[in-house]
Amino acid sequence: MVSFPYEVLNTAIDTVRKGNMKSKKVEEAKQFAKRKHAHLTRKDGKTPSWKHLVQVYRRLELMDVKDDNVLSAGWLHDIIEDTDVSYDVIKERFGSKVADIVSWLSKDNRLAKTKREKQYREQLRQAPVDAQVVKLADITANLADLENAAYDKKKKAEQVKQKVKYIKLIKSSITKKKKDMPGLQKVQDELNSILESYGMKKEF
């Protein structure tokens, strides 16, 4: 299995953080998300869900994302799917741009699984690049955490293949933003390393 140098990643993240003071909106999004996810856990049944949100936000920072709306959406990207918070509540508290990004990233749980997944893939394909950037951070954080999931080898492989389908839908638009996000390559390198560790080819 390929070993990714996470100590280098963490050092880079810490460096970015020191020069990136959180705005009031981003801090409020963080606290709101942590409250709403407080009693939820990851699929291992024990890891608090909000820890995933931290990892998504950290990767947005690492990519040098500066837009407060995108950073706020990083904290809130799961909130419609996983809690009782609606689009309207997000719009009222954080503005329409944040609410729109979160909406683009939310599956419609009212639909049957197959139809829901088909619709979600189309959403990702059509989503504005800001939403796709959050999704890239989300995919990378999820894959990095997959080794801790209580899944067998087959289930993990299925999860990786699903995420690769998502990556293929968004990578073209994101790559065009590279000049605006100097740190993007660090996250792409991490993602490529994880994919290789599961026997998949690089996507970036």
The pLDDT, as a whole number, for residue 18 is 46
pLDDT < 50 positions in the chain: 15-16, 18-20
The answer to whether position 107 is within a domain reads yes
Give the per-residue SS3 of the chain. CCCCCHHHHHHHHHHHHHCCCCCHHHHHHHHHHHHHCCCCECCCCCCECHHHHHHHHHHHHHCCCCCHHHHHHHHHCCHHHHCCCCHHHHHHHHCHHHHHHHHHCCCCCCCCHHHHHHHHHHHHHHCCHHHHHHHHHHHHHHHHHHHHCCCCHHHHHHHHHHHHHHHHHHHHHHHCCHHHCCCHHHHHHHHHHHHHHCCCCCCC
The pLDDT, as a whole number, for residue 43 is 78
The answer to whether position 98 is within a domain reads yes
Catalytically active residues are: 81-82
**Model pTM above 0.85:** yes
Q: Which domain holds residue 183?
A: 6-197
The pLDDT, as a whole number, for residue 151 is 86
The pLDDT, as a whole number, for residue 47 is 85
Domain CATH for 166: 1.10.3210.10
CA triplet 25, 31, 37: central angle to 5 degrees? 130
The answer to whether position 144 is within a domain reads yes
Domain count, the chain: 1
The answer to whether position 203 is within a domain reads no
